[in-house]
Structure formats: structure tokens, C-alpha cells
Copies of this chain bind each other. A is one copy, B any other.
Amino acid sequence: MKKDIEQFIDKFKKFNLSKEDLDTVSSNVKIMEFKKGDDVIVDKNSCQGFIYVLKGNLRAYAISTTGKEITVFNLNSGDECILCANCMTDNLQLELNLQANKDTKILLLHSSYFSVLKDKYPSIASFVVELLSIRLASAIKVMTQALFTPITQRIIDFLKQNATNNQIQITHEILASHLGTAREVVSRILKDIEKENLIKLERGKIIILNL
């Protein structure tokens, strides 16, 4: 745990914080662990603050009024995230949720501390601008892909991007959530791709033969 915090503090050194502020950061970060499939922090009434992924993988997803989901971006080990942007603006509702794709360990600096630092250090404000720009670009890319790329191609792209050793452990349901479509659609298309001998479907697992 001490090593995790040191890794995080190292990240913060680039912002040229005073020793006092660095000490405040290190004594107020919180380490949290989540199992694969867990929702990450569910208190909708409070800001989540600054998240640093120590290990694992989180997905940030939007959800529709009818409960359908789409992944907007992923956070891997070493990635940072500022969520719940309505902490920054009063009349904004950013409906993004976080879920662990794998067993995941994060470091959290509550927004009450992070906001103060952001206002005090221009270097941190610039960093937030950069992070938000990246998320905005990512959201727009996901949106145009989801709207304009045929679903079969999007499924193939997802399998290629997320396979390890030509295998991917995922249910059709979860694959559908990532892509903002229905499970039935995913199942039908996967079967079509299997018929062409490009993949092999097993229980909870997809094996890539030739994509």
C-alpha cells in the first residue's frame, strides 16, 4: 500500500506542489479494490474526485433511460480519471458510471482535496483540461463509430482489440453492453462470423481463428 501511494505521489510531483500539499495528498488518498463486474463507487450524490488506476481495468459507460449501456472509454493501469464533472459545474449532469472489467485496484483522492489543488496550481488545471479534452475526443469517436460503423465490423474490432492470445472471455450480454446494442444482435452476428470459420464460440469465451 505504501508503494502504491508513493507511485501516486510521484505522479503528482510533476505539478510542483509544495511539500505541505504533497503531504496532504498522501495522507488523504484512499485505496479501493473491486472485483470484476463490480460497480465502482455508487454514491451519486457526491463527487468521486480524482482516480488513479493502480491495476486492472475500468470501463466508463453511459446508460439510457431504458437501461441500455455503452462503453465511452476504458481506463487501464496507470490511467487517471476525473469523473463526476458536475462537481465542477453546478448545472451539469454527467451521467457516467464506472465498472471493473477485471479485478481492479484504484487510488482515490476525494474531490474536496482535488478541487482545492486544481484552483491553487495552474499546472493541475492544465492537466485537467488535457484529460477532459482526451475524454471528449474519445466520446465523440465512440459516438461516430457507434452510429456509422456497421455493428458486425464493431464486434470484429472489439474482439481484435480485447483478445489475449486469440481468446476473449466475455458473455454476449456484456459484449452488447460495451457496444450499446442488444444481446440478441450480438449472438446472431457472432454465429454468422462463426459460420465463416473466423471465430469459435465456447461457453463464456470466444476464440479467434482468423479475423
Contacts and interface: CB of A to CB of B under 8 A. Distances in A.
Interface of A: 62-66, 68, 70, 72, 85-86, 88-89, 92-96, 118-120, 122, 125-126, 128-130, 132-137, 139-144, 146-149, 180
Contacts of A149: 64
Contact of A133 (B70, B85, B119, B134): B85
Nearest to A137: B94
Given A122-B122, A136-B135, A89 B130 contact: yes
A119 B122 CA distance: 7
Contacts of A94: 133, 136-137, 140
A134 B132 CA distance: 10
29 contacts: A62-B140, A62-B144, A64-B144, A64-B147, A64-B148, A64-B149, A70-B143, A72-B143, A85-B133, A86-B133, A86-B137, A88-B129, A88-B130, A88-B133, A89-B133, A89-B134, A92-B134, A93-B137, A94-B136, A95-B137, A95-B141, A119-B122, A128-B129, A129-B132, A132-B132, A135-B136, A136-B136, A139-B143, A147-B147
Contacts of A62: 140, 143-144
Contacts of A126: 88, 118-119, 125
A58 to B, nearest CB: 16
Contacts of A135: 136
A72 B118 contact: no
Nearest to A135: B136
B143 A146 contact: yes
